[in-house]
């Protein structure tokens, strides 16, 4: 049964990976939003560096970033790809949160899921993945964000349709797992993708879920 297989994959991954401390330590929604904007098309290490730089120079609040000079934000984000565009988006999204929502994302996050997602996606720089990350990590809302690792790994493991788009993958995964496991599913598939199920030359021989995987290469 598909659910059973999916459950076994999750159980095996839980035995093999420990979620990083940030998963439970800092769920401030605005910080989550800013990190996720920085992470777009950027490697994890470079995202971390850029966010650290930004945090050293500014309080990570809508007010501080709305009032910061764009060039100063750019300077902090230089390790991230497309940093000029991201600096512009961060300043603009901060201004909108300040002006339209009184400087807090909390009123949005307490809306029903679909409504909150729609409102978040009207903010500059916020697509489905960024909205889902904020909703999952900062509001415990029932969604599974689909980043590049989740997309690749869930398709290889046949947990999502091979030709599926973002919504197809999200819904397929959500149909296989209980909402209380969504955060773990998201994290575990990312960790598997980083360590074993890499885009090029996946390490199938040592992959902990290779017995469940139709895409396994010998």
- State the minimum distance, in angstroms, from the CB of residue 207 to ligand SF4: 3
The CA distances from residue 120 to 60, 108, 111, in Å, are 18, 7, 11
Question: Is 129 marked active-site?
Answer: yes
Among 31, 86, 91, 147, the one annotated catalytic: 147
Nearer to ligand SF4, 60 or 213 (CB): 213
Given a contact cutoff of 8 angstroms between Cβ atoms, the answer to whether 111 and 119 are in contact is: yes
- How many Cβ atoms sit within 10 Å of the Cβ of residue 204? 16
- State the minimum distance, in angstroms, from the CB of residue 217 to ligand SF4: 6
Applying CB under 6 A, the site for ligand SF4 has a residue count of 14
3-state secondary structure 56-96: HHCCCCHHHHHHCCHHHHHHHCCCCCCHHHHHHHHHHHHHH
| DSSP character at residue 125 | T
Using left for φ > 0, alpha for ψ between -120 and 50, and beta otherwise, residue 201 falls in left
Question: Is 56 marked active-site?
Answer: no
Instruction: Examine residue 188 and tell whether it contacts ligand SF4 (CB under 6 A).
Output: no
* Chain centre distance of CA 28: 14
- State the minimum distance, in angstroms, from the CB of residue 133 to ligand SF4: 23
Among 126, 137, 215, 218, interactor with ligand SF4 by CB under 6 A:
215
Among 68, 76, 109, 207, interactor with ligand SF4 by CB under 6 A:
207
Q: Which parts of 108-167 interact with ligand SF4 (CB under 6 A)?
A: 153, 156-157
Phi and psi at residue 9, in whole multiples of 5°? Answer: -60, -45
Among 129, 132, 151, 181, the one annotated catalytic: 129
Instruction: Examine residue 9 and tell whether it contacts ligand SF4 (CB under 6 A).
Output: no
Instruction: Examine residue 196 and tell whether it contacts ligand SF4 (CB under 6 A).
Output: yes
Residues within the interface to ligand SF4 (CB under 6 A) = 153, 156-157, 196-197, 202-204, 207, 209-210, 213, 215-216
């Amino acid at each position: 049964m598909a659910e059973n297989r999916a459950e076994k994959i999750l159980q095996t991954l839980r035995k093999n990976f420990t979620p990083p401390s940030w998963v439970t330590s800092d769920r401030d929604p605005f910080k989550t939003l800013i990190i996720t904007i920085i992470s777009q098309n950027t490697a994890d290490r470079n995202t971390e560096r850029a966010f650290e730089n930004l945090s050293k120079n500014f309080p990570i609040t809508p007010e501080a970033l709305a009032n910061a000079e764009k060039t100063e934000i750019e300077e902090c984000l230089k390790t991230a790809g497309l940093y000029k565009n991201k600096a512009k988006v961060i300043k603009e999204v901060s201004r909108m949160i300040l002006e339209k929502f009184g400087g807090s994302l909390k009123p949005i996050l307490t809306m029903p899921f679909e409504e909150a997602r729609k409102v978040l996606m009207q903010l500059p720089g916020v697509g489905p993945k960024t909205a889902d990350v904020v909703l999952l990590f900062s509001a415990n809302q029932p969604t599974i964000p689909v980043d590049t690792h989740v997309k690749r790994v869930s398709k290889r493991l046949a947990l999502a349709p091979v030709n599926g788009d973002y919504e197809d993958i999200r819904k397929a995964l959500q149909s296989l797992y209980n909402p209380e496991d969504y955060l773990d599913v998201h994290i575990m598939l990312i960790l598997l993708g980083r360590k074993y199920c890499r885009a090029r030359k996946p390490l199938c021989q040592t992959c902990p879920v290779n017995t469940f995987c139709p895409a396994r290469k010998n």
